[in-house]
Structure 1
Amino acid sequence: MKTDKVNCLGKSLYPVLVFLAMVIGRPAYAGALGLPESTARLGYAVGVAAVSVDDPAGDTGREWTMLPMTLIHTDWLFGDIRYWSAFFYYKASLDAAVNKVGQNVEQYGLRFSLQKSLRVARLWAPWFGVGIAASRATYTTRHIVDADGFLIDTYPDREQTSVALLLNVVSEWSLTRDWDIGAKLEYAIPVDGDIDETSALITLLYRY
């Protein structure tokens, strides 16, 4: 059963992984084309997210949770277009309330966006992006309570492979020649899945 779940997630992520393998290899050709070789960057991000779940047993509340680990790779593609890829992992605890299903959520996966730099002020040109995410989510300790907080019922744990549409904006500032700090806002809209998420991240990127 566990092997089947891993295979299911692998099939969902395969097209993303193939494309990432192709574009990550682009810097090797940059020198031959007379382009800057230092357009690729690796990074790490932490932040917070407001998470809710469209649970089969009923809606949940929207709760804030920490995003402790997001690994980033980004590189220029052409013109003012770049790609932004990330591996992420987090846990969230959604409290039960009247007509709200409480549960613990654990999610990990890959996100990929194409971003375009648009100048909105003389000294500010953030990156606006659209993308897709594929992830695996586990929902545990699903339950409901009454108005006094007493347990009414519990539901079985469940797992799900999810796909989401991403809308994001990133702004960055140089620290040194090779290091940048940034801020990212993103909205993940479930396409085939139950998690609705709005996140804010602080990023640290290294040009290599």
Structure 2
Amino acid sequence: MIAELVARLVSTSALAGTRASLTLLCLGLAGRFELLAAPHPWMTSNVGLGVLLALVIVEELAEQDEDLQALFDMVAYALRGGAGALAAGTIQASASGAGLEIPQWGAAMVGAGLAVGTHHLRAQLHQQLVGAGEGVLSPRTWLAWLELGGVLGLMVAIVLAPILALGFVVVASLAGVGVIVAKRALEDRVWRRACDGCGARVRVEARRCPGCRQAVEVARWRG
């Protein structure tokens, strides 16, 4: 029971950092059908579900457009942190109903922290893919669709098989970190060279080393 509780707490918080509104909508529906306990009555009300559905549409529109996402990112950390706290509150309420007491403030802090961390990771991943294509040819578009489907699938798993959901969250996080590290390593190899004076990695178009401040020759200009 404790393992399932931890798995649900971590998974829902991470999903809130990926799709805040959709995660809360799914939790609200789960509470409406009494699959999970809802910490706040508004999450299961008709008005609350309608508002969350509208927010899902807005969030998805922002995710599919690079310009809108840039504007959304200005407040995304706060919004997804708050969503993570609410999502964790749902798990905390379910645990209390099953006889396991978790401090509400503790669950909220864990949920907010995991949601913010997840959002930061995916923001870095999306940043690496900016400009790689447009429309359906853009890797960002496919990643956004994959995230959307993943959130829906994992929300089902959180209710039915929380340990499995946690496993997918961990694997997806590690894969995201791997992509970011590999992309940066490739860029470092292609677009940087070693400074003759101090050995620091200098951009190929730079005229001065940021490490030792010595003048360096421009290797080539980036197109």
Tell me the TM-score normalized by structure 2: 0.22
| Greater RCO (Cα-Cα under 8 Å, separation 6 or more) | 2
Q: TM-score, normalised by structure 1?
A: 0.23
Q: Which has the higher strand share?
A: 1
